[in-house]
Amino acid sequence: MTALLVANNGGHVKQLHSLAPRLGFATDRVWVTVRAPQTTALLRDEEVVWVDYPDARDLGAVLRHARAVSPVFRRRRIETVVSTGASLALSVLPQAAARGIDARYIESATRFEGPSMAGRLLARVPRIAMYTQYEHLADRRWRFGGSVFDGFTAERVPGPAPSPLRVVVTVGSTGAYGFRRLLDRVVQVLPEHSVVTWQTGSTDVAGLELRGVQVQARATMPADELAAEVAAADVVIAHAGTGSALGALEAGRLPLLVPRRVEHGEHVDGHQGEIARMLEQRQLALVREADELTRNDLDLVATSRVRRTFDPPAFRW
């Protein structure tokens, strides 16, 4: 059975890639995603249909990508389509359902309080099976299938924080939305002699200095390179994106998450606050607002580790 796995870049594709072993489509599969350093590294050994980057809530991109993916259904015998969003789910799942192909949508783990706009729209389309990653959101239309965060647990490590600290600061690649508030705060609280990797997305870093030296930042990093930096770090400071949080947890690091806020023009909505609260409730993150971040917070996550206490079960279709 050939499965088409569809997801926007960032946290959406990271979730689908992490869930893939639990979905039952281990071998014959084709991916549809946005070409970016993260995705080209993450899917280097996979068959991929690449599409261009869409702006947030860009109807033109939804239609353009629908046309771009349509030939796949003629070239390949696709029997199942699975998507974790966002706009690419709108491009592909309705046409799959219209062709009589098994179509399944898994809402992002980011959406702890209710479906995203893409989820709400797709729930109106007949013959698309809808799945949530939270039991409390299951109802007649939405089924609970499991969570990408299943199996993780955090624990304290005896002893003081390492010195010097090795730190990764990552704010993802959230379109045109910068997160300078976080970066300005981080340079204030970093201890002396910290070794820092900066992944800053579209954030303007002009004039951002650490101990009088201009910060050397990278907008994007290949997934494997960023994962290696996270695995070697003592502290991971990140925006509250699902991909960033999941990457830290998989590397055994307790993430220090700072949600982007709509009122500061840092995102299109408040969903980062949702996932931050959920992970905090699970004790899988330390959550702070940008202006609340302290040196003690860095020490706390530096003396914590995350491990998997069990192998998550197959996703419940």
Domain end marker among 144, 163, 180: 144
Confidence of residue 213 (pLDDT cuts 50, 70, 90): confident
| 106 and 72 fall within a common domain | yes
Residues 168 and 139 in one domain: no
Range of the domain at 127: 2-144
40 contacts: CB under 8 Å, gap ≥ 6: 222
Q: What pLDDT digit, counting tens, does each position of 288-313 carry?
A: 999 999 999 999 999 999 999 999 99
d(CA 79, CA 74): 12
* 172 inside domain: yes
Q: Are 174 and 273 part of one and the same domain?
A: yes
Residue with tokens 């910290």: 194
The answer to whether residue 316 sits within a structural domain is: no
Give a yes or no: residue 314 inside a domain: no
Q: Answer yes or no: is pLDDT of 283 > 80.
A: yes
Given 85, 120, 144, the domain boundary residue is 144
**Domain match, 126 and 164 both:** no
54: domain CATH number is: 3.40.50.2000
The CA–CA distances, whole Å, from 169 to 22, 61, 87 equal 30, 30, 27
The answer on 204 and 268 residing in a single domain is yes
Do 157 and 267 lie in one domain? The reply is yes
Residue 317 lies in a domain: no
Do residues 122 and 218 share a domain?
A: no
Q: At residue 56, does pLDDT exceed 80?
A: no
H-assigned helices in the chain:
11-19, 37-42, 59-75, 87-98, 117-122, 180-189, 223-232, 242-250, 271-281, 295-302
Within a domain: 26: yes
Is residue 258 situated within a structural domain? yes
Residue pair 179/239 in contact by the 8 Å Cβ criterion:
yes
Pairing of strands 166-170, 304-308: unpaired
| Domain end position, chosen among 110, 144, 178 | 144
Residue 54 pLDDT greater than 70, yes or no: yes
Cβ-count burial of 202 within 10 angstroms (0-12 exposed, 13-18 middle, 19+ buried)? middle
> What is the count of structural domains for the chain?
2
Q: Which two tokens stand for residue 294?
A: 């302290």
The tokens describing 192, both together, are: 């002396």
Residue 205 lies in a domain: yes
Q: Do both 122 and 221 map to the same domain?
A: no
Are residue 252 and residue 187 in the same domain, yes or no? yes
pLDDT grade for 243, boundaries at 50, 70 and 90: very high
% the chain with pLDDT above 70: 99
Residues 166 and 122 in one domain: no
Regarding pTM above 0.85, the answer is yes
In a shared domain, residues 235 and 134 = no
131 and 188 part of one domain: no
